[in-house]
A and B are shown apart, each in its own frame.
Chain A
């Protein structure tokens, strides 16, 4: 690294920002970003809940780093968001500094002190499980101890991840920025004529655009650390935002950033028109609009979408796992994208097995291209879950049913899971009465009684009817429901 060293970076971190990968969070964070942007126009979003700005220019303008940081904290806190700010050399140290404080506190690491500041931190902050696991076993517990190793030793022993981690531990940027500017303009743009009014087609175009950008970068052997998404409206306004890329984002992930940016901008537009006091209500309104298919964009529609790769570095390559990765081939991705373009983003899903007792809860459908883990993992014990084999037909919404005993009286289940009489006939969704030939149950489940909104008590039955069909039925609040059919 040159003598200049990494630039001074200011990181703003909102400690209790939810991190579930929902677009609503990114949108809400837009309100924080708009505050920070008043101090420095080039804000880099690390993820919803954290952003970074280069501190040198604004610090000079506002009369010192400390002053700048305080002003930002006050402004953001004034909008009702808890935040803490760190200022140090390099993004890594600045992030740690931000986390070191408490809400409303500014932590400024003095110029030249970054390496000392880092030295006390445990190696677990390196955000690499491999290093965090390996180094303590070798007796290296802090970044200072790690940084004391000779560079060559670190590279020999730990390879590329070790070299990166060693640079971080020494207070340097993880990789040297490309010294030369890009020879060719690697930015890509697409125009919409007539201006596009809806968000969905713009996001779809962004996928193809990102593929083009990646192809261009790959042809030059480069990767970009950040990608700038520029959206130009018909009335000439331009909104641009930097997103962390690190050469790791797929085309779909870039498109997802574009979606967030459009949605966030829209939320910002709406919030601006409303009373500042009604911020929470605005946030909820934005979340509600998520499902609205007609996601209209403000300002007469979008005319140009441009993706600009920022901070080009040599592409070190990325190794996919040899086994275990369900790699989505380009062919499949293209087919899925085409169907998404026809029917919308949420119309093509991938099933992920999740945890739960009923058959409907055991699956989470994730829109193609989104990375999301099910809320309840499948590899936990779920006492009382419906035993295998699973039903081939799972009703999206349980069907109402009527179940009667031999005398024609409706069958009920008591609070102690006693059946009033053996079920003899069943009518599904108002259909004809079917004779029950065999049955099993009740299997009572009381779920989430600690959360009144989600609490549920059900007694489940399996019924086989004379036509050979088998049903998964349940009694809830005295009503019979058909949850699934084994066919």
Chain B
């Protein structure tokens, strides 16, 4: 964990060094005499003085998602949630409950009662149901005002569009939750299994859904984790679903297998994603 973190820091440093060299070249103008080895010490000397980005705390997530996303949603990052569903809303709910404004773009069929149920405050939500062909610009504008933007891209974004959005995310310290896949997302969550409770053959009603959510990602979130959640629970909120209290043994992994799930999660993700 610590090691991967340090590695990722090195990655950033390496990238920054590359950028600073690139941006330095034109400034040096005709000074061809300066050898690359001569430039290196200057860059290394500049390293400690690198402007540290303003440290804003990561956006909080719901307690039930805390184990899947330790530390919350870091600002300036993308979290992909596989597809449109309650999981996307649950990802946004923690930040909304903490007072952040959320925007939902590209989801005309958003169920606001479900959103309110998982903890998203409708009073601090902007909806842009149809962002149209210029949706990247719409998302960038929304990021100016909202800490978290929940987006279902109307089309598959090109690498250029993705880079533009990610750059604007980092600049503004926002978080983009994508209902769909996003290459290079820092965190990826996926509902791999689900079962409804409370409904039978002609009786009862939908009361709660137990889902298995698998999370993996990059950097600090690189290790895959799987958890069973109530999504939604009987009162519409999100909670941890205890493995011991499972009703249907056939569809539930025993504890030993659950521990193994972390290892197979990546495979699951590849299969379904």
* CA–CA, A331 and B144, complex, Å: 7
Write the chain A residue with the least CB distance to B109. A393
Main secondary structure, interface of B, reads mixed
Nearest residue, chain B, Cβ from A422: B202
Asked if A95 is at the interface of the complex by the 8 Å CB criterion, the answer is: no
Check if B142 sits within 8 Å of A470, measured CB to CB. no
Q: In the complex, A205 Cα to B209 Cα: how many Å?
A: 48
Q: Would you call A486 and B126 a contact (CB within 8 A)? A: no
Compute how far the CA of A419 lies from the CA of B201 in the bound complex, rounded to whole angstroms.
13
Cβ proximity bits B93-112 to A, threshold 8 Å, 1 near / 0 not: 00000000101000011111
Whether the Cβ atoms of B129 and A464 lie closer than 8 Å is: no
Question: Please, what's the 1-or-0 string for B205-225, where 1 marks a CB less than 8 Å from any CB in chain A?
Answer: 111110000000000000000
**Interface residue A365 (Cβ < 8 Å from any Cβ of B):** yes
Please determine whether A339 and B142 come into contact, CB atoms closer than 8 angstroms: yes
Task: State the CA gap A349–B199 with chains docked (Å).
Answer: 35
Q: What sequence of 0s and 1s flags, for each residue 329-361 of chain A, a beta carbon within 8 Å of any chain B beta carbon?
A: 101111110110011000111111100000100
- B123→A388 contact, CB < 8 A: no
| Residue A484, interface by CB 8 Å | yes
Taking CB atoms and an 8 Å cut-off, the chain A residues in 228-251 that contact chain B are none
Contact present for B112 and A389 (CB under 8 Å):
no
Report the bound CA distance from A334 to B232 in whole Å.
34
Hey, which chain A residues are within 8 Å of B234, CB to CB?
389
What size tier do the contact residues of chain B reach? Answer: 35 or more
Q: Quick one: CB contact mask for A405-428 with B, threshold 8 Å, 1 for yes?
A: 000000000000001001000000
A332 engages B146 (CB within 8 Å): yes
Q: With both chains docked as a complex, state the minimum distance between the C-beta of A155 and any C-beta of chain B, in angstroms.
A: 36
- Chain B residues, CB < 8 A from A129: none
Q: How far is the CB of B144 from chain A (nearest CB, A)?
A: 4
Known: A359-B113, A389-B114, A468-B194. A487 touches B127 (CB 8 A): no
Once A343-B132, A392-B111 are accepted as A-B contacts, the answer to whether A351 and B122 lie under 8 Å apart by CB is yes
A468 B236 Cβ-Cβ under 8 A = no
**In the complex, what residues of A have CB within 8 A of residue B141's CB?**
335, 338-339, 342
Residues of B contacting A349 in the complex (Cβ-Cβ under 8 angstroms): 126-129
Closest CB of chain A to B171's CB: distance in Å?
14
Residue-wise interface mask of A (349-388) relative to B, using a CB-CB cutoff of 8 A (1 in contact, 0 not): 1111100000100110100100000000000000000011
B20 on the A face (CB < 8 A): no
B145 touches A336 (CB 8 A): yes
Greatest chain A CB density within 10 A among B85, B111, B144, B205 is at B111
Residue of B194, B233, B235 with highest tally of chain A CB at under 10 A? B194
* A368→B103 CA distance, assembly (Å): 12
| Interface presence of A462 (CB below 8 A) | yes
Does A440 lie at the interface of the complex (its beta carbon under 8 Å from any beta carbon of B)?
yes
Q: Does A439 contact B (CB under 8 A)?
A: yes
In the complex, are the beta carbons of B145 and A440 less than 8 A apart?
A: no
Contact between B86 and A392, CB atoms less than 8 A apart: yes
Q: Known contacts A388-B235, A422-B202; is A353 also within 8 Å of B142 by CB?
A: no
Instruction: Check B124 for interface membership: any CB of A closer than 8 A.
Output: yes
Docked complex Cα distance between A335 and B140 (Å)? 9
Q: A343 contacts B128, CB within 8 Å? A: yes
Known: A336-B126, A351-B122, A352-B122. A440 touches B84 (CB 8 A): no
B205 cross-chain contacts in A, Cβ below 8 A: 387, 440, 462
Extra contacts, 15 of them, besides A332-B146, A343-B132 (Cβ < 8 A), are A331-B144, A332-B145, A335-B141, A335-B142, A348-B126, A349-B128, A350-B125, A392-B114, A394-B109, A394-B112, A419-B202, A440-B199, A462-B199, A486-B86, A486-B209
Chain A to chain B contacts (Cβ below 8 Å), 19 pairs: A329-B101, A335-B142, A335-B144, A339-B128, A347-B128, A348-B126, A363-B112, A365-B129, A388-B113, A388-B235, A389-B117, A389-B232, A391-B114, A392-B111, A392-B114, A393-B84, A464-B199, A487-B84, A487-B85
Top 10 nearest A-B pairs by Cβ distance?
A: A335-B145, A390-B113, A326-B123, A390-B114, A389-B232, A389-B236, A332-B145, A487-B85, A363-B112, A392-B86
